[in-house]
Chains A and B, each alone.
Chain A
Amino acid sequence: MLKVNDLKVVYNGNIKALKGVNLEVNKGEIVVLIGANGAGKTTLLRALTGLTKAESESSAILDLSELTDKRTLNRLAGPKLTDKLLKTYGESDIVFDKIRSEENIETEVFGKTTFINRKRINGLRKKYNEYIKTDLLKLPAYRAVDYGVAHVPEGRQIFVGMTVQENLEMGAYKRHNIIKIKKDLEEIYKLFPRLEERKKQKAGTLSGGEQQMLAMARAMISKPKILLLDEPSMGLSPIFVSEIFSIIKALNKNGTTILLVEQNAKAALSIADRGYVIETGNIVLEGTGKELLENDKVKDAYLGA
């Protein structure tokens, strides 16, 4: 789903924070990136969402070709054309098959072949081809969310002067269906009852753990395909840590792909499908979560064994 190639970031012209990182996240996985302070973990996530500029030879290809859901269709085709396509073909995955094929479908969809109808279908195909394979590094930061990438940044970075509810509304900034947003909001509140109790409160008045919950909830409400998490357990009490990790697992079960950066290596690796170890801007080890947990080097350096 995400393939990072030769990712290099240089700060102020001389600090090489990332020296050519390659990594991959497959659809449905939890991938964990562990490393000491200053290794380059935050820089990597920030580069992926465009908050930090990467060198021009780097790339991070996001492949969304496996997406065949209605939401994606609606985003690409707009509500009117989506309606027509679904009426014609029934299910959205069939619609996507048709878009991927080279068939002339305008007669089936619109009832007759006209220049304009052909143009609409061609337009949709063009948009689709651009959408399913994107280099994230070439996008401005505010576009990442359009491609289903949500980033829970280091230090949470919630809007402290806004209410809890307003923070969540900002998470849904790029969504338009008010009824669905409301429904998702209710679901989020069910998952985080503490946030519901405090929804009219300024986010700055929440405890650290609650703020982390809010940061996660704010990312979730954008309905991401892939969620980038930067040390969500940092500075939290053990109860909150285990709650956060169980939420991450649950999110992943529901189909969200996850790239998790952590210093809490033990907890992170135990929920990971695969993991990478980063040291001073280079990936030095990779393997399944289990392999890394049992690796002597990892044990020595990160598990405090």
Chain B
Amino acid sequence: MSEIVNQIIIGIQMGSIYALVALGYTMVYGIIKLINFAHGDFIMVACFMLYTFIIILKLPAILGLILAILITIIIGVLTERVAYRPLRKKKSPTITALITAIAVSLILENLFQLLFGSDSKMYPDLIKQTTINIGKISVSNISLITIIVSIVTMILLTLFIKKTKVGKAMRAVSENSDAAQLMGINVDRTISITFIIGTFLAGIAAIMYYMKYLKIEPFLGSNLGLYAFVAAVVGGIGSIPGACVGGFLIGIIKVLPNIMSINSSYADIFLFGLLIIILIFKPTGIFGKNIGEKV
């Protein structure tokens, strides 16, 4: 029994990371209707920045975290400015933007392979791992930190989008960018802010990933990105609670085979099976919106 609980906690921990990444997909999709395939690679970039600052340059961890997040944000905003915005101005078809996103992803992956080599980089714990025992259940401090930080981040993000002026402007642009402009909202700036927030969340997710796996390689973003993307779709792409729920759901599905003591390859079968079922019965995902305009 306690083993099951432990597995579920690990699932929630992984799910927290997926959820943070899924939020990035969902927010960008919500505002410019683009699946930003490069988003997973932003996490890879952040991980390598952590590695560079903390392991290679031996900066204090906290400074390393801040710098890594900042650089990731800059790369995210630049990506939007250089690659996506010109296409938007030309009103290019969606497929052009999608291919551009894939191109950005490939460029980042190969650039980091050139810079750091393709082998995995191993490194010691960022903070000392300890185990906390609550009754029969034992939780690692890393799991606990990951889960708490993610949930707090999600709550703050939700409040930000619901309550603040900038958050409301983001919702307005994502609903109707013409009408938003008539209100005086600068759409380009709002999109940049969305990328800042998305890559900030990617930076947080990267720290969690870095602490959990203790090894990184230039292609980690494509795998992580795929699961997070599925999380966003299952939850309902464009929906903030959807991304959170989707992320946790996928984290738990990933540990199901361990709980059932079956081959861990079943995880992907369950997961993509669930994806297909959800897409058949509710193509817009669990929290997908279906509010029509009345005329």
Contact = CB atoms under 8 A, between A and B. Distances in A.
B1 interface: no
A158 B179 contact: yes
A115 interface: no
A43 interface: no
A126 to B, nearest CB: 22
A170 B181 CA distance: 10
A145 B172 contact: no
Interface stretch (A61-69, A203-211, A272-280): A203-211
Given A159-B176, A204-B294, A144 B168 contact: no
A141 B181 contact: yes
A157 interface: yes
Contacts of B82: none
Contact of B184 (A161, A173, A202, A205): A173
Interface stretch (B111-119, B216-224, B285-293): B285-293
Interface in A18-68: 49-51
B211 to A, nearest CB: 37
A146 B223 CA distance: 47
B128 interface: no
A174 B181 CA distance: 11
Contacts of A219: 182
Interface in B174-190: 175-176, 178-187
B253 to A, nearest CB: 29
B294 to A, nearest CB: 6
Interface string B150-180: 0000000000000001001101100110111
Contacts of B291: 160-161, 202, 204
A153 B184 contact: no
B182 A161 contact: no
Interface in A138-195: 140-146, 150-151, 153, 155, 157-162, 166, 169-171, 173-174
A255 interface: no
Contacts of A208: 294-295
Nearest to A145: B184
Contacts of A205: 294
A235 interface: yes
In order of increasing CB-CB distance, the 5 nearest A-B pairs are: A174-B184, A141-B181, A145-B184, A157-B179, A204-B291
B67 to A, nearest CB: 34
Interface string A207-241: 11001000000110010000000000001000000
Contacts of B185: 142, 170, 173
A27 B165 CA distance: 33
The bracket for how many chain B residues form the interface is: 20 to 34
* Most chain A beta-carbon neighbours within 10 Å: one of B172, B183, B185: B183
B169 to A, nearest CB: 7
A293 B294 CA distance: 33
Contact of A222 (B168, B171, B184): B184
B292 A145 contact: no
Contacts of B295: 155, 208, 235
7 contacts: A50-B181, A142-B182, A142-B187, A144-B184, A155-B293, A157-B178, A170-B180
A170 B176 CA distance: 12
Contacts of A204: 291-294
B36 to A, nearest CB: 22
Contact of B182 (A151, A162, A166): A151
Nearest to A174: B184
B168 A170 contact: yes
B293 A160 contact: yes
B294 A222 contact: no
Contacts of B294: 204-208, 211
Given A142-B186, A160-B293, A166-B168, A51 B178 contact: yes
A141 B182 contact: yes
A182 to B, nearest CB: 15
B293 A144 contact: no
Interface string A121-146: 00000000000000000001111111
A159 B175 contact: yes
B283 to A, nearest CB: 18
Nearest to A236: B295
Contacts of B171: 159, 161-162
Nearest to A211: B294
Nearest to A234: B295
A169 B183 CA distance: 10
Contact of A173 (B169, B289, B293): B169
Contact of B172 (A159, A206, A211, A222): A159
